[in-house]
Structure formats: structure tokens, C-alpha cells
Amino acid sequence: MLNQTKNRDMNTLQLKHLSAYLPYKVKCLFKTITDADHYILGKQFERELLIVDLYYLFKDYPVYEYIKPLLYPLDLTKEIEHNGERFVPLERLDFKSENEVQFSTYDNIPNQLTITATYKQMGETFTEFVICRNSFDLVNYWIVQQLIEWKLDIFNLIPQKLAIDINSLKKETK
């Protein structure tokens, strides 16, 4: 059972995780534990996350056993689908460059992927982090916002079983 108000450890889904995706109509998998709102006990269903769900998730007597957002793993080189269009995220990031953007990947430290983008703008050469050591601390806000809009798992929720890999659902339905 969810109890976010008392336990805020790394393996707990938190408000900051769900609220980031809320404006982008993220779909979630829900499982009920009460008959509030006329839901059947133990029913599992999928639908878009609503702001009222955040209330139900974080109140003292939760309605849901869990809410798990359906996200893509944070692999910017793998094709995703967004608004009915399939593309590779790294190729779609718009750096407003005068010429082609050059990406460099550094993965010499295990589990510490770093990707940089080098491009020219107004005659100057710039290098920006796309992801830095599997973190977004040094990444421009517009990149983080774009990755959230594309429903990429920037909080590393899938490995913690707090979110569901969209690709695994598509494999089950085939």
C-alpha cells in the first residue's frame, strides 16, 4: 500500500515524480484498494493521470494501491512514439543550430552516462550537456522539459518498479 506522507525514501513514488508529467497527459496504470468513486476493489486499469489522483495518492487513506506512470526508459538513442509520430529523441532535440549538431557520448564510468551536444550559433561554438552522469543537474531546463513531454523516465522510476516501461506493454499486446 502507498504511504508517501510518512516514507520519503528513494524507492517511493513522490509528488514531484508524477506532477512533472501531469501537463503532458501521461497515462498511468492504477490499482484500487477501496470502493471510493465506485471503483471495484482490486481493479487494475489504465488512463490519463488527473490532478485529483494526486490527492487520492497522498491522503491518509489512499484509494489506490498504486499509480504507475507509463514511461519510456531514458535511452535517447531508441525510437519512441509521441503524438502518433515515431522518432529518436536525440535526433529531435532542437538546439537552434546554424549547422548540424555533433553528439558525444562518454560512458567510461559504469552507470554514469554523459552525452554532450556541440553546435554553432551566431558564429560561436557551444557545448551543452544533454545528460550528465545519469543526472540532469547540469542540463538546461528546456532539455529536461522536452524529455518529460516525450514521457522519458528522467527520475529513474522504471528500475525501481515505480513506473512501467511503455515498451513492455506494447510487447504484451502483440
Q: Is the pLDDT of residue 48 over 60?
A: yes
Letter for the amino acid at 157? L
d(CA 74, CA 168): 14
Sketch the domain layout of the chain as residue ranges: 15-72+156-173, 80-149
Q: Is the pLDDT of residue 162 over 50?
A: yes
In a 13 Å sphere around the CA of 73, the CA atoms on its Cβ side amount to 12
**Which whole number is the average pLDDT over 141-169?**
92
Highest mean pLDDT among 5-9, 91-95, 96-100, 165-169: 165-169
**Which whole number is the average pLDDT over 81-110?**
83
Pairing of strands 64-71, 164-165: parallel
In degrees, rounded to 5, the angle at the alpha carbon of residue 27 between the alpha carbons of residues 22 and 30 is 105
In three-state secondary structure terms, 74 is coil
Q: Is the pLDDT of residue 70 over 90?
A: yes
Which of the pair, 155 or 98, is modelled with greater confidence? 155
Which of the pair, 88 or 114, is modelled with greater confidence? 88
Structure confidence at residue 24 (pLDDT): 93
Cell 499509480 sits on residue? 67
Cell 519512441 sits on residue? 80
Structure confidence at residue 27 (pLDDT): 93
Structure confidence at residue 3 (pLDDT): 39
Residue 143 CB: number of other CB atoms within 10 A? 19
Confidence of residue 165 (pLDDT cuts 50, 70, 90): very high
Identify the H or E element spanning 55. Answer: helix 51-58
